[in-house]
Amino acid sequence: MISGNDIYRSARLLIELHSSDAEFYAAMCAQAFSARGDVEGLGLWLRITAAIHEICRLKEPNEPVH
């Protein structure tokens, strides 16, 4: 099982790489794993997607993600 810290690290990295498209990118990855029937991969990407959503919801405008 991947730790919550690793999920949030992954989410922050995706936000840095994809900016406002990070949540969409993670959701597309989740969809790809779902299409392959990979339940574990799907669960991981759903957790990352949720973490991205939470981070973006909580950060102030113009505040760095770090």
Whether residue 62 has pLDDT greater than 80: no
pLDDT in tens, 13-60: 999 999 999 999 999 999 999 999 999 999 999 999 999 999 998 766
Q: What is the DSSP string of 4-61?
A: HHHHHHHHHHHHHHHGGGHHHHHHHHHHHHHHTT-HHHHHHHHHHHHHHHHHHHHSPT
